[in-house]
Every structure is written in C-alpha cells, then in structure tokens.
Chains A and B, each alone.
Chain A
Amino acid sequence: MPGSLSNWIARHAHALVSTTGHLGRHGFATVLTVAVMGLALALPLALNVLVRNVRDATGDFSEAVGLSVYLKPEVPEQKARQLAKSAGERTGVASATLITASEALAEFRAQSGFGAALDALPDNPLPNVLTIRPAPDAASPSQLEALRSYLLSWPEVDSVQLDRDWVLRFSAILELLRRVVLITAVLLGAGVIAVVGNTIRLEILNRRAEIEVTKLVGGTNAFVRRPFLYAGVLYGILAGSIAWSIVALARASLAPAAMRLATAYGSGFTLEGPSFSELGILLLSGMVLGWLGAWIAAARQLARIEPRTA
C-alpha cells in the first residue's frame, strides 16, 4: 500500500508531538512525576558508583595480600636465596623477597626492645622467610590457596601463612554490596513502574471524554493508547537523565573531600563519577520502565472506557 509507511511515521510523529506538547502544558505535574522517578533511579546508580569507587580505592589490597613462607631452620641462607629466586619466577607471583634470619633478628632487636634478652640466646631462633606477593590477576582466594599448597610441597618449607581471611572478607563485602545494588535497583524499578502507572491512570481519567469520542469515531485501542505510551517513555528518558545528573553532581561536590582523604593516605585515588555507559543503561531502563508502567495503566483503564452504556 503506497504511502502507508509515511502515514505510519506521520501518526507516530503526531502522537509524539502532541504528547510532548501535553507534558509541556502540564509542566508542574510533569516535573513532580519526573523528579520522583529520577530520585528513584538515582539511588541504585549512586550505590553502584559507590561500590565501583570502593573497589578502585582498595584495588592495591591485592598487592598488600601476601604469603609468608617460613623455611626450616637448617636451610642455609645460600639455599634460601635460590628458593626466593625460583619462587619469584613462578607465574602468578609478582615478587618474592627474602628476609634472612639475621635481618629479621636485627629488625626484631630494634623494634621489640628485647635486645638484651636476645643476646642471651646461643643461636638466632628466627628462620629465613620469603615474602611473596601475588600478581594482581592471580590474587583470588582459590589461586592463593593453590600457591600456598605448592609452596608447602617444597621440602625446605616449614610453613606458609596466608593473609587469606582478609581477602575472603573483603570480597564477601563487595559481593554483598553488589547484591544490595541489585535489590535496590529491582525495588526502585518497580517503584518507577508504579509511579508512571499511577500518573498515566490519572491522565486517562482526565481525558476520558476525549477517549470516548475517539473510540466512538472509530479510533482503535492502539491509537488511543499510543500517546500514553509515548508519555511513559518520555517520563522515563527525562527521569534517567535527571538520575544521572544527580549522581554526577553529588560526585562533583564530594570529589575535593575525597581527594584530601586520599592524599592524607598517600594514595592517588580519585572519586569516579557515573559513566556514560551507565547513562545509556539508565535512559534505556527508564524508557522500558516508563513504557511498561504506561502500558499496564492503559490496558487496565482503556478496557473500562467503552463509550457510555446506559
């Protein structure tokens, strides 16, 4: 059918333009609705940005995580150096440093205040120790565990101590936070659907006369529903942009304080804001949620508005 595509475009353009105009004319109501939706979307985004920043800020923890390998007392220093070298060459190991028994003793003497007591001992009681740092990409709890058992299998090794609890706890906290973000997003997404649904429901009630007449002159449900679906989608896009801007502004106002804190810890950490891909996700989910809320409200209400019966 010639011209049917241009008619299709024309009627969608008509619905979009008239909906935009309608939202504009009811500016205050639109602002309120969009503000509520925007705040609801801003919360999960803020949490997500927070989690990302926490992960970044604590990224060096993987370097802090390490294994202390205690060699047997009879292993001589010469042999200990060889072991340090071969441990350092293993994949997944960033560095292996030897702290010799005498170095350890000297340090202990200086820091502990037991210098005189140590002098009374016939031999140095401390063993040679290798301090091993895993490579950042090999610092997961299971990889560290594997490395530990490997080192334990060396005949010269007495025991291996792993800062494993720390790693486990920390990744458990991050995982927990990620789930909190997910749950918040789901709950507030449902809230957004409810807000849009209620707004569109009121809107349909307000325009009941118009809808009745439209159906009476042969308008289909799809025709009547269309402007409301566009309204839902527009609400969603506006709310998504607002949510992103709120979090970006919050980040900007927190950045200087975060910078001072990082400097005080001697860290080069900077507070990251919401990313552009997050903006894309927000706009998309805003559109989908808005459309869904509008569709649910319209389906329920329009089925009830048939031209007057009695």
Chain B
Amino acid sequence: MISFEHVSKRYPNGREALTDLSFDIHDGEMAFLTGRSGAGKSTVLKLIALLERPTRGQVLVNGDNTAKLPLRRVPLFRRGLGVVFQDHRLLMDRPVFDNVALPLIVADTSFREIEKRVRAALDQVGLLGKERVAPLELSVGEQQRVGIARAIVSKPPLLVADEPTGNLDATLAAEVMGLFRRFNEVGVTVVVATHDLHLVRESGLREIVLDDGRSQTPPMPPMQALR
C-alpha cells in the first residue's frame, strides 16, 4: 500500500527533513509514526498525500510512484486517500454537511448518493443529526470527528492522520483512536502520526519511530520494552 525506498526530502530552504528513509506499510495494516517534533513525521505524511514530492528515492502509494505522477493526475490520486489534520481544516462558514460532502462533490457524485454517504459517514463518527450545524457550534472533539467523517466519506482504501488527538484530552483521544481502529478493522489501511506514546503502546500496533529524518528501530516489534 505504502512503500518508502531510500527517501530523502530536502526543502527549498535547505533543511533536510528526511534522510534515506525506508519502510513498508501493507494493505490493511495500521501503523503509527512517532518521534520528536521536527523528526519528519509531517514530511512523511505530506509525501504520502502528495503535498510534496521526494528529493531522492521512491514513494509508492496505492501503486503510484508519487515522484512521477503528472500534475493533472494528482487530484485523482488524492481521492484515493483520506487525510485528517490536527487543526481539522474545516470550512467554518459552511455547515457540517457541506464540509463532509466536499470530497464527493469534487468527484462528481450524484446528489442522492452524496446525501446517503454523508449521513453514513456522520453516523460512523457519532454525529448523525448534526448536518445543518455550523462547525463553530461544535466542541473541539466533535470538530475533529467532522474532519474524520470528511476523510472517510468517499471510502478511500488509505487513511492518513497528522496528530489527530493533539488538541484532545485523554478520553476524547481514546475515542478518536477507537474510530481509526474500527476503520482499520473493515480493511482501511491507516497511518497515524502522533506523539501520544501512551496511546500507541496501549494499542500494541506497529510503530515507526523517526529521529532526525531516519527510521530508528527495526520496524516490526511494538515498543513496550522501552518503558
């Protein structure tokens, strides 16, 4: 599903965010990206979502080599994955329904289908009935869940989340993490960047630790021992 092969990323300002990074995430797997701030977690996610292209090496996502994908195919590529942001990036002047419907609207889905899928997505994140509410009237946890509903509404095979629990307290964070696990159980590949090590280790799932742009541990075993 995702394959990084000797990937380096240098930003135009000269900062090298990733150095010779290699890892694979398989179809249907759920994995965490951890590491200190500035270790390169966000850069990895940007490379996966094709917000950036690698300077060296290869990034393969859904079978596409992101370095070689022509610009006009980028929109189609992005429809194949859902992205959740720490600051959720909702459109505050639009009701919940419009926010969640956006990925379907850009993909020319029929209105009847949009109606159905938006309700299904909101149901999955526990916000059914909030379609007409403005995001500002929702709590922080609910706003984050609207962001998640938007990421999954088009049923992408891959879900990518950047610090999705960063602004949430422990209970809400556990709730959100539970949502991701449920999507994973129905076959969605999930990659979550976080520095909430407690949640990661509780989950017993795979952890990819980044330090200064390099992978620091053998990818497979969970990190229980480090405690």
Contact = CB atoms under 8 A, between A and B. Distances in A.
Interface of A: 3-4, 6-8, 10-11, 14, 209-210, 212-220, 223, 306-310
Contact of B102 (A217, A220, A309): A217
B89 A218 contact: no
Contacts of B106: 214, 217-220, 223
5 contacts: A3-B110, A11-B108, A217-B79, A217-B83, A310-B13
A218 B52 contact: no
B49 A216 contact: yes
A209 B49 CA distance: 17
A310 B51 CA distance: 10
A33 to B, nearest CB: 21
Contacts, number: 60
A62 to B, nearest CB: 62
B78 A216 contact: yes
Contact of A218 (B12, B13, B76, B110): B76
Interface of B: 11-13, 46, 49, 51-52, 72, 75-79, 83, 89, 91, 102-103, 105-108, 110-111, 150
A207 B13 CA distance: 27
Nearest to B50: A307
Given A216-B49, A216-B83, A220-B75, A7 B110 contact: yes
A193 to B, nearest CB: 27
Given A7-B108, A223-B106, A217 B78 contact: yes
A4 B150 CA distance: 24
Given A216-B78, A217-B106, A310 B11 contact: yes
Given A213-B91, A217-B150, 17 more contacts: A4-B108, A6-B110, A7-B108, A11-B105, A213-B89, A213-B102, A215-B78, A217-B83, A217-B102, A218-B75, A218-B76, A218-B77, A218-B78, A218-B103, A218-B106, A218-B107, A307-B51
Contacts of B110: 3, 6-7, 10
A116 B6 CA distance: 122
A215 B72 CA distance: 12
With a 10 A CB-CB cut-off, give which of A10, A11, A212, A310 has the most chain B CB atoms.
A310
A82 to B, nearest CB: 85
Dominant secondary structure at the A interface = helix
Contacts of B78: 215-218
A208 to B, nearest CB: 12
Contact of B51 (A209, A218, A309): A309
A14 B107 CA distance: 13
A218 B153 CA distance: 13
Nearest to A303: B71
Nearest to A8: B108
Contacts of A210: 91
B155 to A, nearest CB: 13
State the 8 A-B residue pairs at the shortest beta-carbon distance, nearest first.
Answer: A218-B79, A219-B106, A217-B103, A218-B78, A220-B75, A307-B51, A218-B75, A7-B108
With a 10 A CB-CB cut-off, give which of B13, B89, B91, B111 has the most chain A CB atoms.
B89
A217 B91 CA distance: 13
A209 B89 contact: yes
Contacts of B51: 216, 306-309
A29 to B, nearest CB: 16
Contacts of B108: 4, 7-8, 11
B75 A209 contact: no
Nearest to B11: A310
A88 to B, nearest CB: 76
Given A213-B91, A217-B150, A309-B51, A14 B105 contact: yes
A111 to B, nearest CB: 85
A213 to B, nearest CB: 5
Contacts of A223: 75, 106
Nearest to B78: A218
Contacts of A212: 89
A209 B91 contact: yes
Contacts of A306: 51
Contacts of A309: 11, 46, 51-52
A14 B111 CA distance: 10
A129 B191 CA distance: 106
Nearest to B104: A217
B206 to A, nearest CB: 26
